[in-house]
C-alpha cells in the first residue's frame, strides 16, 4: 500500500512538472496579438521566393502562417516559422548578391590581362559595392532580432541553437573594416582580388549551411536578364564598363530588397537608437485590404524582376538612416568612378 502511494506521488509529480514545462512554452496574449498583426501586413504576400521551410521535422508554407490566427498557444512556433521564412528569403537575396559579386570579381581578374588601370578601377568599385551591402545586413539582423524578442526564450539564450543567418550577418558587418582597409592598402590588385575571392567563398559556405532550412526559388534568371540588357546596350553603342553596369544593378537590388523585405513588412526603425521594432498594431486600411480577398492577395505577388527597375525613391527615403553608407567618401567615389570610366 505504501509503495503504491509512493508510485502515485511520483506519477503526479512527473505530470505536474510536465504541465509546468508545457505551460512555460506558452507566450503572452499581447505578444500573440502583435505577431498576429505583424503577419497581416500586405508585404508578406510579396515574399514569393521561399516555397517551403523545414521546421520541427515538418515542412511549412508561408500562406498557412499568414492566414492562420496566432494564439498564445502557437505563438512561439509562429515566431520561429516567421524568422525562418524571412531568414530564408534573406538568404536567397544574399546568395544572388554573392553570385553577382563573384562574377564581378572574375571580371576584374580578367581585366588584369588587358589593362591594369581598368582592373584597378574594377576592384575599387567591387570593394565599395561589398561595403554597400553592410547597411542591408544591419537591417536584416535588426529585423530578425525584433521578431525574436517576442519569443518566450530568445535565441540569444539558446546557446545550442545557431539560428539562420546569425553568423553570416555578423561576419558581413565585421568584414567592413577589412574591406575598407583593402581599398587603401599597398597590396597588388591580384592579392586584393584573391582576398575578396576568399571572403565570397566563406560567405557561400555559410549560406549553403543556412539554406538547409529552406526550399527556395532560383534567381539565376535575374542574372541572365542583366547580361542580356548589358549586351543589348552594347549593340546599341551605349557601351559602358561591365563593372559599372553591375555596380548600378547591385545597388538597385539592395534598395529593392530593403524596401520589399523591411519597409513593406512594417518594421519600424528608430533613428535615435538604430534599432528595429515591430509595429504594435495593424492599421485599419491593412485589415480592410486583407479581409477583401486574402487568397487573391497572396497569389498576386510582386514580380521580383519588375520591381528592380521601378523602385519608388520617395518610399525608400522615409528610412534614410538605415540606407546610409557610413563612409560618405565611398559614395562620392562611386559617382566619380562612374563619370570617369563610362565610354560614350
- State what percent of residues in the chain have pLDDT above 70: 71
Name the phi and psi angles at 215, rounded to 5: -115, 110
Distance, CA of 63 to CA of 231 (rounded, Å): 39
CB 146 within 8 A of CB 278: yes
Please state, as a whole number, how many other Cβ atoms lie within 10 Å of the Cβ of residue 168: 24
Q: Name the stretches of the chain with pLDDT < 50.
A: 4-9, 11-24, 157-161, 284-344
CA 123 to chain CA centroid, nearest Å = 25
Helices 242-258 and 116-148, axial angle in degrees (round to 10): 10
| 260 DSSP assignment | I
The confidence score (pLDDT) of residue 56 equals 77
Distance between CA atoms of residues 259 and 54, nearest Å: 26
Q: Are strands 58-60 and 268-270 parallel, antiparallel or unpaired?
A: unpaired
- pLDDT by residue (tens digit) across 202-215? 999 999 988 888 99
| This model's pTM is above 0.85 | no
CB 292 within 8 A of CB 38: no
Q: Per this entry, what is the length of the chain?
A: 344
User: Please, what sign has the CA dihedral across residues 276, 277, 282, 283?
Assistant: negative
pLDDT confidence of residue 218: 76
Contact of 81 with 44, CB cutoff 8 Å? no
- What pLDDT is attached to residue 16? 39
User: Using N-to-C axis directions, what is the helix angle for 328-341 and 242-258, rounded to 10°?
Assistant: 140
**CA 18, CA 24: separation in Å to the nearest integer?**
10
The values of phi and psi at residue 249, to 5°, are: -65, -45
Q: If DSSP codes are grouped into helix, strand and coil, which group holds residue 281?
A: coil
* 58 Rama class: left (phi>0) / alpha (psi -120 to 50) / beta: beta
Q: Beta partners for 9?
A: none
Residue-wise pLDDT tens digits, 298-310:
333 333 333 333 3
- CA distance linking residue 87 with residue 68, whole number of Å: 20
Amino acid at each position: 500500500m505504501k509503495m503504491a502511494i509512493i508510485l502515485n506521488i511520483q506519477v503526479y509529480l512527473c505530470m505536474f512538472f510536465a504541465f509546468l514545462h508545457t505551460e512555460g512554452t506558452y507566450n503572452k496574449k499581447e505578444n500573440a496579438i502583435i505577431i498576429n498583426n505583424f503577419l497581416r501586413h500586405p508585404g508578406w504576400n510579396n515574399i514569393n521566393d521561399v516555397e517551403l521551410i523545414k521546421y520541427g521535422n515538418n515542412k511549412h508554407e508561408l500562406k498557412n502562417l499568414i492566414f492562420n490566427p496566432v494564439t498564445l498557444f502557437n505563438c512561439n512556433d509562429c515566431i520561429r516559422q516567421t524568422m525562418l521564412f524571412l531568414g530564408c528569403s534573406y538568404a536567397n537575396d544574399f546568395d544572388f548578391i554573392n553570385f553577382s559579386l563573384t562574377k564581378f570579381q572574375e571580371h576584374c581578374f580578367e581585366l588584369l590581362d588587358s589593362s591594369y588601370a581598368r582592373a584597378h578601377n574594377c576592384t575599387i568599385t567591387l570593394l565599395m559595392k561589398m561595403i554597400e551591402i553592410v547597411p542591408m545586413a544591419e537591417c536584416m539582423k535588426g529585423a530578425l532580432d525584433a521578431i525574436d524578442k517576442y519569443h518566450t526564450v530568445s535565441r540569444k539564450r539558446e546557446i545550442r541553437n545557431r539560428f539562420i543567418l546569425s553568423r553570416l550577418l555578423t561576419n558581413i558587418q565585421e568584414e567592413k573594416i577589412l574591406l575598407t582597409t583593402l581599398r587603401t592598402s599597398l597590396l597588388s590588385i591580384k592579392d586584393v582580388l584573391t582576398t575578396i575571392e576568399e571572403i565570397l567563398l566563406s560567405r557561400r559556405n555559410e549560406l549553403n549551411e543556412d539554406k538547409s532550412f529552406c526550399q527556395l526559388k532560383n534567381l539565376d534568371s535575374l542574372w541572365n536578364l542583366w547580361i542580356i540588357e548589358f549586351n543589348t546596350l552594347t549593340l546599341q553603342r551605349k557601351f559602358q564598363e561591365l563593372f559599372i553596369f553591375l555596380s548600378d544593378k547591385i545597388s538597385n537590388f539592395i534598395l529593392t530588397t530593403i524596401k520589399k523585405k523591411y519597409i513593406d513588412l512594417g518594421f519600424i526603425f528608430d533613428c535615435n537608437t538604430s534599432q528595429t521594432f515591430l509595429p504594435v498594431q495593424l492599421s485599419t486600411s491593412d485589415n480592410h485590404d486583407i479581409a477583401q480577398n486574402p487568397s487573391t492577395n497572396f497569389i498576386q505577388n510582386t514580380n521580383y524582376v519588375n520591381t528592380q527597375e521601378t523602385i519608388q525613391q520617395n518610399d525608400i527615403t522615409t528610412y534614410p538612416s538605415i540606407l546610409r553608407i557610413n563612409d560618405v567618401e565611398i559614395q562620392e567615389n562611386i559617382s566619380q568612378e562612374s563619370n570617369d570610366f563610362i565610354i560614350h
